[in-house]
Amino acid sequence: MEKLAISTAESQVLLRKIRQRNNEGSVGYFSIGIIGIICLYTFYHWIGYFYWRFAPMNKIAFQKSTKIISLGNLLSQMGKVSIIGEKVQILGITSGLSLLVILFTAVSLRKHHYEAFYFLHILMAASVLILAILHRPRLLRTKSSFILIFTGIVWTLDRFLRFTKYFIYGLKNTAIITPLPHKGTRVVFSKFPKSAVPGQHFFIWLPGIRAFETHPFTCLSTNPGEFIISAHNGFTRSLYEHALKEPGAILRASLDGPYGTVPDLKVFSKVLFIAGGSGASSTCSLATHLVRKLEYSTKTSIDFTLKMIGWTYSYIDILASSPNVTLQIHVTQKECESSLTSSSSNFSDPEKNLQALNSLDGLCNANVEIKNKPISSTSRFYDKISPKIISGRPNLNSIISQAVNTASTAERIAIVACGPSDMMSNVREITARNIHPKGPSLQLFSEQFGW
């Protein structure tokens, strides 16, 4: 009996240890299981997220793959696999591949290598039409060929009209190029379309810079036709370097346009212009055009906020003289602020003062054109805009919110903005936040750098 009691006690102790180990193991397994469930739930969440967004692509790919496999099996059963190797089929396949080239170049080359994209786009578009027509050679049996021929005629007519415009506006037409601060170039045409409106864009051809390239730019003024082009890479860089070597050079030129529409800003009770960097050229053209259309009318008020004036000297002068315009000029670089402060303390040298103003938001360079202006006019310009100069970056949230909060529900407000991508994203977000059901009508017109 004693041995049985001892063995029973030992077995109970052993059973407790086993249970303890089992509990510890179960806790570990339970933790692992919880982690696994969390990972599985996360995986399930993202699978669902991507599924609904890529479902159309998956469906199209599945359907096309099924059709291709079915067609291949059908041709194999009929013993006609060799049909794929026929000349007509190869032409059709090549036409489809040309379409894919257009798609991939539009995604990868358009922003970074515009010249290569434009050349490939024209070449592939022509090859798609020609190869597709050759793929369906029997006109009477395949009426779809008439659609391709009609498309080819429309495309060819468009190309012909473009070349005709280049020829007409290239007759006795020249362009004067002048370097500006902050790597800008002013291009003024001697011959320009009378129907053009500031803010529209044109394709410019300057064979003295690039003989086989045309590039789109926004028009600053129509009388005379004036463009301000910021130097980046490729054509714009070559144009700026040529202007530096030969300021005031007269080049053979032509253009195609105008393209695009300009909003009628007279219907708004308040127009808020916001310009950053080289975006001043586009917004200044629209603002001065609006001021000239309004004349002495006070129906529309204009608020203009910009961060550079070196490129738009004459236009800023017009805006500063208008009673309808509230002008703000922001200095955003410390070295430029110090030069502006030092110059404002000494009004005896207005030319240096204006050079400091022209260094806003960029390198502190002297304006090339200011040297040819009378000191008296330069001094008057400086005296006119000096009270409107504000140090630091503009508070876009405060500017837009104040314009909305001070307006009645019956008023219409237009926000016209042009500048770098970061600034434009900020303007869009602030505009969206200031749209209220009981607030004024708010409309945004934006033009971002690039094409």
> Does 299 share its domain with 435?
yes
Name the pTM for this structure: 0.62
What pLDDT score does 364 carry? Answer: 31
Q: Can you tell me the distance from the alpha carbon of 348 to that of 161, in angstroms, rounded to the nearest whole number?
A: 56
**Is the C-alpha dihedral spanning 177, 180, 184, 186 positive or negative?**
negative
Average model confidence (pLDDT) for the chain? Answer: 70
| In a shared domain, residues 226 and 338 | no
Residues 6+ apart with CB under 8 A from 140: none
Residue 60 domain-assigned (yes or no)? no
Give the pLDDT of residue 308. 55
Mean pLDDT of 40-49: 55
- Per-residue model confidence as pLDDT tens digits over 72-89: 555 555 555 556 667 777
Asked if residue 406 lies in contact with residue 375, where contact means CB atoms within 8 angstroms, the answer is no
Range of the domain at 218: 170-259
Q: Which of 156-160, 218-222, 426-430 has the lowest mean pLDDT?
A: 218-222
Separation between Cα atoms, residue 329 and residue 310, nearest integer Å: 11
**Could you tell me if residue 2 is inside a domain?**
no
β-strands 301-306, 270-275 pairing = parallel
- Which pLDDT score, from 0 to 100, does residue 211 have? 84
Considering the domain boundaries, does residue 394 fall inside one? Answer: yes
Read off the pLDDT of residues 109-118 as tens digits, 9 standing for 90 and up.
777 777 788 8
**pLDDT at residue 147, as a whole number:** 78
Q: What was the pLDDT predicted at 45?
A: 54
Choose the most confident range, by mean pLDDT, from 73-82, 97-106, 389-398, 424-433: 424-433
More confident of the two residues 387 and 403:
403
Mean pLDDT for 411-428 is: 84
Per the CB < 8 A criterion, the answer to whether 414 and 380 are in contact is: no
Is residue 210 included in any domain, yes or no? yes
Q: Is residue 344 in some structural domain?
A: yes
Average pLDDT over residues 40-58: 54
Residue 152 confidence (pLDDT) above 70? yes
Same domain, 407 and 272: yes
In a domain, 406, yes or no: yes
Query: What does the pLDDT read at residue 442?
Result: 85
* pLDDT tens digits, one per residue of 360-396: 433 333 233 333 344 444 455 555 555 566 667 778 8
**Kind and range of the H or E element at 273?**
strand 270-275
Examine the domain organization and report whether 282 and 418 are in the same domain. Answer: yes
CA separation for the pair 65, 69 (Å, rounded): 6
* d(C-alpha 175, C-alpha 199), whole Å: 19
Question: Mind spelling out the 3-state secondary structure of 197-255?
Answer: CCCCEEEEECCCCCCCCCEEEECCEECCEEEEEECCCCHHHHHHHHHHHCCCEEEECEE
Number of domains in the chain: 3
